[in-house]
Structure 1
Amino acid sequence: MFRPQKIQPKEGQESVWDYPRPPRLEPCDKQIKIIFNGVTIVDTKKAYRVLETSHPPTYYIPPEDIKMEYLQPAEKGSFCEWKGPGNYYTLTVNDKQAINVAWYYPNPTPAFADIKNYVAFYAEPMDECLVNGETVTPQPGNFYGGWITSDIVGPFKGGPGSWGW
């Protein structure tokens, strides 16, 4: 099996290849902002991040720090081997809509109980997603929901040829 060549992190950086499997959940006090169709829908310093080998962090936001009036339950569901069954939201702000753009776990496994009903967002459809003021790059591949910042190095799962990692 092909193993990607780990990029050596510089001082102040993390390598996704040093993240654990199974993934780890940890509180994050960095400021997380999400802007969609010109409206700030998320602004928090009370997120959690999930860290998993080969993936940039996925940020889970407490519902009280989300403008939930813009989220509508979607029909899509999914299953994570670590977190359990998940549900999705569609985001609508004025005349713009992003279908199945956010997800949450209403009954997560015990290891992820702290993120019950917290919401994660795909970065790609947003105007901007920021971590401590830095605009994130979406995880490649349009399947996973990780956010890449300058303090995270890969290579990252999701791009061409990475499905066998």
Structure 2
Amino acid sequence: MKAIWNNTILAESDDTVVVENNHYFPADSIKKEYFEDSIAHTTCPWKGRASYYSVRVNGELNKDAAWYYPEPKDAAKQIKDRVAFWKGVQVTN
């Protein structure tokens, strides 16, 4: 699977975990040079507290376009150390 935005591959892996139709990529598969920590957080009742990354490619910013669960609840432990995408990031194989 690949995560692509602004004609650039942000992450690539054959080992994604699908939860609620979102592909969670291993954290070590993301190209960290495109990611910036965000102050945004949301809470899911069964997954826990999500943190976000903004993505910057070729000078363009996609705010909070990726998220992860630093300490997911037990029901979502399979997505620990994984990153998912939205906001126009295309996930394809």
Alignment TM-score, normalising by the size of structure 1? 0.53
What stretches of structure 1 move > 4 A for 4+ residues in a row?
A: none
Structure 2 counterparts to residues 9-158 of structure 1, below 5 A: 32-51=1-20, 57-122=21-86, 124-126=87-89, 128-130=90-92, 132=93
Residue 67 of structure 1, CA deviation = 0.5
What is the root-mean-square deviation of aligned Cα atoms in Å? 1.3
CA distance in 1 between counterparts of 2:30 and 2:48 reads 23
> Greater RCO between the two (CA within 8 Å, min separation 6)?
2
Are 2:23 and 2:91, in contact at CA under 8 Å, matched by a contact in 1? no
Higher Cα Rg, which structure:
1
Residue 117 of structure 1, CA deviation = 2.7
Gaps of 5+ in 1: 1-31, 52-56, 133-165
Residue 35 of structure 1, CA deviation = 1.6
* Structure richer in strand, relative to its length: 2
Residue 107 of structure 1, CA deviation = 0.4
| Equivalences, count | 93
Gaps of 5+ in 2: none
Greater displacement, 63-72 / 80-89: 63-72
Alignment TM-score, normalising by the size of structure 2? 0.90
CA distance in 1 between counterparts of 2:8 and 2:22 reads 21
Q: Deviations over 1:118-164 (max 9, x none)?
A: 11100x423x331x3xxxxxxxxxxxxxxxxxxxxxxxxxxxxxxxx
